[in-house]
Amino acid sequence: MTTWLGERPADGMRLELAVSATVHRARSPHQSITVVETERFGRALLLDDVIQTTERDEHIYHEMLVHVPMLAHGAARRVLIVGGGDGGALREVLRHPVERATMVEIDAAVVAACRAHMPGLSAGAFDDPRTELHIADAVDHVARTAERYDVMIVDSTDPLPEGPGSVLFTEAFYRDCARLLSDGGILVAQHGMPFVDADTVRRAHARLASAFADATCYLVPVPTYCGGAMALGWGACDAAQRAVPEDVLETRYRAAGITTRYWTPEVHRAAFALPRRFP
- Kindly report the CATH number assigned to the domain that includes residue 39: 2.30.140.10
Read off the CATH number of the domain in which 144 is found. 3.40.50.150
Measured in residues, the chain has a length of 279
| Claim to verify: residue 159 and residue 263 sit in the same structural domain | yes
First to last CA, the chain: 40
The verdict on 66 and 31 lying in the same domain is no
Closest by CA position to 135, among listed 101, 169, 110: 110
Within this chain, do residues 126 and 182 fall inside the same structural domain, yes or no? Answer: yes
What is the pLDDT at residue 163? Answer: 58
Instruction: Please say which residue of 13, 36, 54 terminates a domain.
Output: 54
Q: Is 104 exposed, middle or buried (0-12, 13-18, 19+ CB in 10 A)?
A: buried
What per-residue confidence (pLDDT) applies to 165?
Answer: 65
Judgement on whether residues 261 and 248 belong to the same structural domain of the protein = yes
Same domain, 229 and 94: yes
**Residue 126 lies inside a defined structural domain of this protein:** yes
How far, in Å, CA of 231 to CA of 46, rounded?
Answer: 20
128 and 39 fall within a common domain = no
Looking at the domain assignment, is residue 275 inside a domain?
Answer: no
141, 243: one domain: yes
> How far does CA 157 lie from the centroid of its chain?
9
If asked whether residues 260 and 145 sit together in one domain, one would say yes
pLDDT in tens, the chain (279 residues): 789 988 887 788 888 999 999 999 999 999 999 999 999 999 999 999 999 999 999 999 999 999 999 999 999 999 999 999 999 999 999 999 999 999 999 999 999 999 999 999 999 999 999 999 999 999 999 999 999 999 999 998 766 556 556 788 899 999 999 999 999 999 999 998 998 888 888 999 999 999 999 999 999 999 999 888 999 999 999 999 999 999 999 999 999 999 999 999 999 999 999 988 865
In the chain, the number of structural domains is 2
Active-site residue, 247 included: no
CA atoms of 242 and 268, how far apart (whole Å): 9
pTM of the model: 0.95
Q: Is residue 64 part of a domain?
A: yes
Domain assignment of residue 278, yes or no:
no
Question: Is 87 buried (19+), middle (13-18) or exposed (0-12) by CB count in 10 A?
Answer: buried
The catalytic residue among 86, 107, 150, 155 is: 155
Residue 102 lies in a domain: yes
Q: Which residues, in sequence order, are bridge partners of residue 153?
A: 81, 188
Range of the domain at 13: 3-54
